[in-house]
Structure 1
Amino acid sequence: MKNMLKGLGAALCVALPFLAQAPAGAATPANAGAADQALVQRGAYLAQLGDCAACHTAPKGKPFAGGLPMNTPMGRIYVTNITPDAQTGIGGYTEADFARALREGVAKDGHNLYPAMPYPSYAKVNDGDVKALYAFFMHGVAPVQQANRESDIRWPLNMRWPLMFWNMAFLEKGPYRDKPGKDVAWNRGAYLVQGLGHCGSCHTPRGVGFQEGALDESGSAFLSGALLDGWFASNLTGEHNTGLGRWSDEDLRTFLKTGANRHASAFGAMTSVINNSTQALNDQDVAAVSKYLKSLPPVGGNGAPAYTYDPQATKVSLDRPANDAGARVYAAYCMHCHGVDGRGFAPMLAPLAGNPNVLAKDASSLINVTLNGTGDLVINGVPSPFPMPGFAAVLDDKQIADVLSFVRAGWNNGAPAVAAAEVAKLRQSTQAGR
Structure 2
Amino acid sequence: MKNMLKGLGAALCVALPFLAQAPAGAATPAAAGAADQALVQRGAYLAQLGDCAACHTAPKGKPFAGGLPMNTPMGRIYVTNITPDAQTGIGGYTEADFARALREGVAKDGHNLYPAMPYPSYAKVNDGDVKALYAFFMHGVAPVQQANRESDIKWPLNMRWPLMFWNMAFLEKGPYRDKPGKDVAWNRGAYLVQGLGHCGSCHTPRGVGFQESALDESGSAFLSGALLDGWFASNLTGEHNTGLGRWSDEDLRTFLKTGANRHASAFGAMTSVINNSTQALNDQDVAAVSKYLKSLPPVGGNGAPAYTYDPQATKVSLDRPANDAGARVYTAYCMHCHGVDGRGFAPMLAPLAGNPNVLAKDASSLINVTLNGTGDLVINGVPSPFPMPGFAAVLDDKQIADVLSFVRAGWNNGAPAVAAAEVAKLRQSTQAGR
Q: TM-score, normalised by structure 2?
A: 0.98
Unaligned segments of structure 2, at least 5 residues: none
**Partner deviation per Cα, 1:95-128 (whole Å, 9 max, x = no partner):** 0000000000000000000000000000000000
Aligned to 1:336: 336
Counterpart Cα distance in 2 of 1:401 and 1:24: 56
Contact (CA 8 Å) 2:3, 2:201: kept in 1 or not? Answer: no
Q: CA deviation at 1:16?
A: 1.1
**Partner deviation per Cα, 1:342-388 (whole Å, 9 max, x = no partner):** 00000000000000000000000000000000000000000000000
Counterpart Cα distance in 1 of 2:339 and 2:66: 41
Q: CA deviation at 1:2?
A: 2.1
Q: How does 1:241-280 map to 2 (within 5 A)?
A: 241-280=241-280
**Partner deviation per Cα, 1:227-255 (whole Å, 9 max, x = no partner):** 00000000000000000000000000000
**Partner deviation per Cα, 1:155-200 (whole Å, 9 max, x = no partner):** 0000000000000000000000000000000000000000000000
Q: CA deviation at 1:32?
A: 2.0
Counterpart Cα distance in 2 of 1:239 and 1:3: 19
Contact (CA 8 Å) 1:205, 1:212: kept in 2 or not? Answer: yes
Counterpart Cα distance in 2 of 1:5 and 1:336: 33
Unaligned segments of structure 1, at least 5 residues: none
Counterparts in 2 of 1:288 and 1:238: CA distance versus 1, 3 Å: same
Give aligned pairs, total. Answer: 434
Counterpart Cα distance in 2 of 1:6 and 1:309: 35
Contact (CA 8 Å) 1:225, 1:232: kept in 2 or not? Answer: yes
3-state SS of 1:186 partner: helix
Q: CA RMSD in A?
A: 1.2
3-state SS of 1:241 partner: coil
Q: CA deviation at 1:17?
A: 1.2
Contact (CA 8 Å) 2:11, 2:116: kept in 1 or not? Answer: no
Contact (CA 8 Å) 1:343, 1:353: kept in 2 or not? Answer: yes
3-state SS of 2:302 partner: coil
Contact (CA 8 Å) 1:69, 1:79: kept in 2 or not? Answer: yes
Contact (CA 8 Å) 1:6, 1:271: kept in 2 or not? Answer: no
3-state SS of 2:232 partner: strand
Counterparts in 2 of 1:52 and 1:10: CA distance versus 1, 3 Å: farther
**Partner deviation per Cα, 1:11-30 (whole Å, 9 max, x = no partner):** 77221112332225534414
Counterpart Cα distance in 2 of 1:5 and 1:146: 23
Q: CA deviation at 1:36?
A: 0.4
Q: CA deviation at 1:403?
A: 0.2
Q: CA deviation at 1:10?
A: 8.2
Counterpart Cα distance in 1 of 2:209 and 2:400: 34
Contact (CA 8 Å) 1:267, 1:369: kept in 2 or not? Answer: yes
3-state SS of 1:76 partner: strand
**Partner deviation per Cα, 1:121-159 (whole Å, 9 max, x = no partner):** 000000000000000000000000111111111100000
Counterparts in 2 of 1:212 and 1:301: CA distance versus 1, 3 Å: same
Aligned to 2:171: 171
Counterpart Cα distance in 1 of 2:421 and 2:146: 41
Counterparts in 2 of 1:427 and 1:10: CA distance versus 1, 3 Å: same
3-state SS of 2:128 partner: helix
Counterparts in 2 of 1:418 and 1:240: CA distance versus 1, 3 Å: same
Q: CA deviation at 1:4?
A: 6.8
Q: How does 1:206-285 map to 2 (within 5 A)?
A: 206-285=206-285
Counterpart Cα distance in 1 of 2:340 and 2:415: 18
Contact (CA 8 Å) 2:7, 2:116: kept in 1 or not? Answer: no
Aligned to 2:415: 415
Counterpart Cα distance in 2 of 1:179 and 1:330: 49
Contact (CA 8 Å) 1:12, 1:270: kept in 2 or not? Answer: no
Q: Are 1:18 and 2:4 an aligned pair? A: no
Counterpart Cα distance in 2 of 1:361 and 1:335: 23
Aligned to 2:429: 429
Aligned to 1:103: 103
Contact (CA 8 Å) 2:342, 2:411: kept in 1 or not? Answer: yes
Contact (CA 8 Å) 2:12, 2:118: kept in 1 or not? Answer: no
Counterparts in 2 of 1:6 and 1:114: CA distance versus 1, 3 Å: closer
3-state SS of 1:376 partner: coil
Q: CA deviation at 1:9?
A: 8.4
Counterpart Cα distance in 2 of 1:80 and 1:158: 16
Contact (CA 8 Å) 2:10, 2:227: kept in 1 or not? Answer: no
Contact (CA 8 Å) 1:111, 1:160: kept in 2 or not? Answer: yes
Counterpart Cα distance in 1 of 2:4 and 2:335: 24
Stretch moving more, 30-39 or 117-126:
30-39
Contact (CA 8 Å) 1:40, 1:136: kept in 2 or not? Answer: yes
Contact (CA 8 Å) 1:12, 1:268: kept in 2 or not? Answer: no
Counterparts in 2 of 1:432 and 1:115: CA distance versus 1, 3 Å: same
Q: CA deviation at 1:266?
A: 0.1
Counterpart Cα distance in 1 of 2:35 and 2:61: 26
Q: Are 1:310 and 2:310 an aligned pair? A: yes
Counterpart Cα distance in 1 of 2:10 and 2:159: 23
Contact (CA 8 Å) 1:7, 1:227: kept in 2 or not? Answer: no
Contact (CA 8 Å) 1:5, 1:233: kept in 2 or not? Answer: no
